[in-house]
Structure 1
Amino acid sequence: GTLLLPSSTEGNGWHLRMESTPDFGKTWVMGDTISRGKQKVNAIQPSILFHKDGSIQAIGRTRNRALFSTFSKDNGKTWSDVELLDMPNNNSGTDAVTLKNGKHLLVYNHVLPPGDLAKGPRTPLNVSISDDGIHWNAALVLEDSKISQYSYPSMIQSSDGMVHIVYTWRREKLKYVKIDPSKLKVLPIKNGVWPGEEGKVVTAVKAEEE
């Protein structure tokens, strides 16, 4: 089969594209740049989700204060215009995986930047879960400290069903967390606000970096 590599460019504006290999990396095909859509979304660092209807979704980081989403119905050859989800993004990296049971798991900073800024503190670090990749439920807070930052997470699910997450801890070290997704207790995220955090403004002690 064909392996799909989600990728992006930053040198001349932020753009998404997909690359693929039919021979396990010997040769590669570079896909067209995915349209930024009517919202002119500046997006990079996509993660791939697989849906039960055969469609593929890419989701990830933007400069537009919200997570992006785009779908493919032909195994990644063509993609819909990029759109923004009703989920905040602080211009920080995310990761997402489709679990064995078909649900989708997302690890990210659930932070809406203050005012009209594109960038916000990289704390807290959160985990959300979804059935459709569009509507998300709050599942877990991995870090919640005013001492930033918790960023650039990476996540996989192993054959035993456990989820393994690695992320940068305050720019000092890497931290590893193992999660049993069957034990997550979820609450709906309404209007992009984490449950119990209505009206909260997130501030950080340490200045953010790229």
Structure 2
Amino acid sequence: MRLAILLFPLLAIAQIQQGFIYESAPFPECHASTIVETAPGEFYAAWFGGTKEGAKDVAIWGARLKDGAWSAPVELAREKDQSTYNPVLFFTKDKKLWLFYKHGLHPKTWNGAKISSLDGGRTWSEKEYLPAGLYGPIKNKPLVLADGTVVSGTSVESDHAWTAWVERSTDNAQTWTKHGPIVYPAEARGIIQPTIVPIGKNTLRMYIRSTKKIGFITYADSKDGGKTWSSAKITNLPNPDSGIDAVALKDGRIVLIYNHTSSGRSPLNIAVSKDGDKWTAPIVLESEPGEYSYPAIIQAADGKVHATWTWHRKKVKHAVIPLESLPN
């Protein structure tokens, strides 16, 4: 059964600070950013950039934010005669910074790779390729549990189906087990790119991108730390077949960043929930015509929320959102 899209006013919040990570770069197009806090007040972002998505010159690029300024973009990973896609930055409990990414000629046939850093992204290890069938976090940061278990949302895209999965690691992202599939029962070619957050004390929830045929963000729950999951169900937030991300704040609220529309990739919005089910009226981050997509969102040590997203496929935008700007 399809749900009606929520019809409530969109909120525009003046206190949000926005700016570009770079003004010029050695590539014409970019997409799929990720962000992590490397030290109090210091951040690292990454994305893919090149001629266009899927081109063989597309590489993974990154930049550091320190003392209020972003460094110039630097190349982090490149594959010979293949494109790279969807970098994901995160720390494991042993304080190692990881960057996972995908490489290949198309998402239907891509593979996973990873590099790591012990100094907050100043230097990086040699790349390692993941075993066949494992992709690592497919777009969004994993959830690292209190015991160090990494619960990573991933997905597989084929000609016949889009399906969400979870990859779990209990040894700080060295080895993985695969769990799922998580499906939306009424539509086989349906859901990809989960983002995972805790809901209360005993539940993990993934919010999942869906196709236009489904038309809404979907979700599934786990009661055993991400080993088994329910089937996906529909939220009442629209999804035009575009990437989303979410973060659980320290106060327990869930913040979801997404495109609040049934078609296209504008506007770009943030909604907040106390229970993971009922959402506030969405804040407007972008509303002009164009593409504002594939967002990433985290909460920093000082409590502020940081988000990045694709801006017209030309630049990566970064926003700092004070907690007082978020609705309760």
**TM-score, normalising length: structure 2:** 0.52
Alignment counterpart, residue 94 of structure 1, candidates 225, 234, 244 = 244
1:10 aligned partner: 157
Q: How does 1:70-81 map to 2 (within 5 A)?
A: 70-81=220-231
Identity across the alignment (%): 37
Amino acid at match of 2:256: L
Amino acid at match of 1:149: E
CA distance in 2, matches of 1:125, 1:26: 35
Per-residue Cα deviation, 1:133-176 (whole angstroms, up to 9, x for no partner): 12111241000002x10000001101100100000001110000
Deviation, structure 1 residue 25: 1.7
Per-residue Cα deviation, 1:32-89 (whole angstroms, up to 9, x for no partner): 2123234657111110111123100000210111000100011111101111111110
- Structure that is richer in strand per residue: 2
The unaligned stretches of length 5 or more in structure 1 are 113-119, 187-210
Per-residue Cα deviation, 1:74-118 (whole angstroms, up to 9, x for no partner): 111110111111111010000001000000001110002xxxxxx
Deviation, structure 1 residue 27: 1.1
1:165 aligned partner: 307
Q: Please state whether the residue corresponding to 2:180 is helix, strand or coil.
A: coil
1:32 aligned partner: 180
- Pairing 1:103–2:253 present: yes
CA distance in 2, matches of 1:172, 1:22: 38
Amino acid at match of 1:170: H
CA distance in 1, matches of 2:275, 2:201: 11
Greater CA drift, 79-88 or 30-39: 30-39
Alignment counterpart, residue 130 of structure 1, candidates 264, 267, 273 = 273
Amino acid at match of 1:134: D
Q: Please state whether the residue corresponding to 1:137 is helix, strand or coil.
A: coil
Contact 1:50 1:56 (C-alpha < 8 Å) held by counterparts: yes
Contact 2:191 2:210 (C-alpha < 8 Å) held by counterparts: yes
- Pairing 1:178–2:320 present: yes
CA distance in 1, matches of 2:325, 2:282: 10
Alignment counterpart, residue 292 of structure 2, candidates 141, 150, 165 = 150
Moved over 2 A (4+): 35-41, 181-186
Amino acid at match of 1:128: A
**TM-score, normalising length: structure 1:** 0.81
2:207 aligned partner: 59
Rg bigger for which structure? 2
Q: CA RMSD in A?
A: 1.5
Contact 2:161 2:189 (C-alpha < 8 Å) held by counterparts: no
CA distance in 1, matches of 2:323, 2:188: 35
CA distance in 2, matches of 1:185, 1:72: 27
